[in-house]
Amino acid sequence: MTKSIVILGSQWGDEGKGKLVDLLTDKAQVAVRFQGGHNAGHTLVINGEKTVLHLIPSGILHSHVTCLIGQGVVISPSHLWAEIEKLIQKGIDFKNRLKISGAATLVLPYHVALDQAREKAKGSKAVGTTGRGIGPAYEDKIGRRALRLCDVLDAARFEEKAKELLHFHNFVLQNYFSAEPVSLASVLEEGRIAREHLAELIDDVPARLKQYRQENKTMIFEGAQGTLLDIDQGSYPYVTSSNTTAGGVASGCGYGPRYLDAVLGITKAYCTRVGAGPFPTELHDEVGKNIATRGNEFGSTTGRPRRCGWFDAVALRRAVMINSLSGLVVTKLDVLDSLEEIKIATGYEYQGQQLSELPVDTDILAEAKPVYETWPGWQCTTEGIRNWSDLPKAAQNYLNRMAELCEVPIYMVSTGAERKDTIILRDVFEE
Ligand code: IMP
């Protein structure tokens, strides 16, 4: 029986991971976040009630699941506390069920100011970040100067370090970006929130994971964003600042790669992207608008409209390779219901050359033209279908072709926002 499963986005994020993680944690005892921060937004709809989580693993809505946040995650104390408070209002008990690595880097007000000032200065070349300070927080971590959650325990030491960092960052804000400086009070307030509310949740995450493994607990490692936004493997520099791919699990929470049993890649039946950066199959026509409207394609963190396009098998094959995907979970199939025909990119053309791999040079990717094959649409509703055999033949053909082109099996197909709107083809826990 499979015990440690990674679930991650295999496109540019927003693939519908929240629902799938929530569904799979029915059979798991532990859910772990290993990277990213509150730039993520995982939407869950349970009994018609919508919950959006940004930092807390989606498993928190199941009372039998313990949730861990590894040190690869960057944490904004005020945002995490606000998220916890919302759960308290919903009557969800988090004490003893939410554990956070003391080594997690803090996202502080100067990171937010730097993120926004930098994007503004870049003008038309902006990355289109979520403006939440994620990149600058990771920069501090890699620069070996970050304040971490464990630093808040000693208030005097926190203040001393915060003053030093503030001096450094305010210098850049004022002298390079001509932006307003950040106040020490706002940074210390984050420290206070962390000390008063989060310090009691600090735990040794690698040691806890070792214990759970020895206790034979089933664990789910929940990725945020998506493969093509990975700092190393994505369309750089139009990426986020963490490792969103399967390798990020080992480094992001101290759980060795040999312990992972399966990696599921979530993919939409089409593609979306928020923010700037190359997107070869992007649609600028009525079909794109139709997908955006039917799919309600607006960011769950920023509310920004998502760019929409056809399913890209070249990009997905890359995700299969990088993540060693065991299989796919296809979401939002029903969004394509009304289309007469549906396209899949099977390769690219660049300056007269055929490309079968995703180019790593972002400028080449930006100019690559997709080579499509066209499949007939099914033009009837698939919403809420729960059995493969109830799917129209054209939808089955389309899904089978996706799996064939990506060279991995499909484990599940999601046909609606609710947990029950899911076709389960293979049970990852039983393999
Ligand atoms: P950052 O993570 O805020 O620095 O943003 C960097 C890039 O990642 C931008 O293109 C964002 O739109 C994108 N991004 C960050 N988080 C998410 C997410 O949860 N879903 C989709 N895109 C995201």
pLDDT of residue 383: 96
Looking at the chain, the domain(s) classified CATH 1.10.300.10 span: 105-197
pTM, 2 dp: 0.95
CATH number of 105-197, picked from 1.10.10.10, 3.30.300.180, 3.90.1150.10, 1.10.300.10: 1.10.300.10
pLDDT of residue 1: 59
pLDDT of residue 303: 83
Catalytic residue among 22, 38, 42, 169: 42
Pocket lining: 275 vs ligand 1, CB cutoff 6 Å: yes
pLDDT of residue 51: 86
Q: How far apart are the first and last CA of the chain?
A: 6
Whether 14 sits among the annotated catalytic residues: the reply is: yes
Looking at the chain, the domain(s) classified CATH 3.40.440.10 span: 4-101+203-262
Pocket lining: 135 vs ligand 1, CB cutoff 6 Å: yes
pLDDT of residue 2: 59
CATH code of the region 267-430:
3.90.170.10
Q: Residue 59: which of 103, 107, 94 has the closest Cα?
A: 94
Instruction: Look at phi and psi of residue 268 and say left if phi exceeds 0, alpha if psi is from -120 to 50, else beta.
Output: beta
CATH T-level assignment (fold) for domain 4-101+203-262: Adenylosuccinate Synthetase; Chain A, domain 1 (3.40.440)
Q: Residue 274: which of 7, 9, 8, 6 has the closest Cα?
A: 9
In single-letter form, the type of residue at position 325 comes to L
Residues 256-304 pLDDT 10s = 999 999 999 999 999 999 999 999 999 999 999 999 999 999 887 778 8
CA gap 68, 312 in Å, rounded: 33
Q: Residue 56: which of 214, 172, 201 has the closest Cα?
A: 201
Q: How far is ligand 1, taken at its centre, from the CA of residue 292, in Å?
A: 18
Pocket lining: 127 vs ligand 1, CB cutoff 6 Å: yes
> Residue whose CA is closest, atom 1 of ligand 1?
129
Query: Which parts of the chain register pLDDT below 70?
Result: 1-2
Looking at the chain, the domain(s) classified CATH 3.90.170.10 span: 267-430
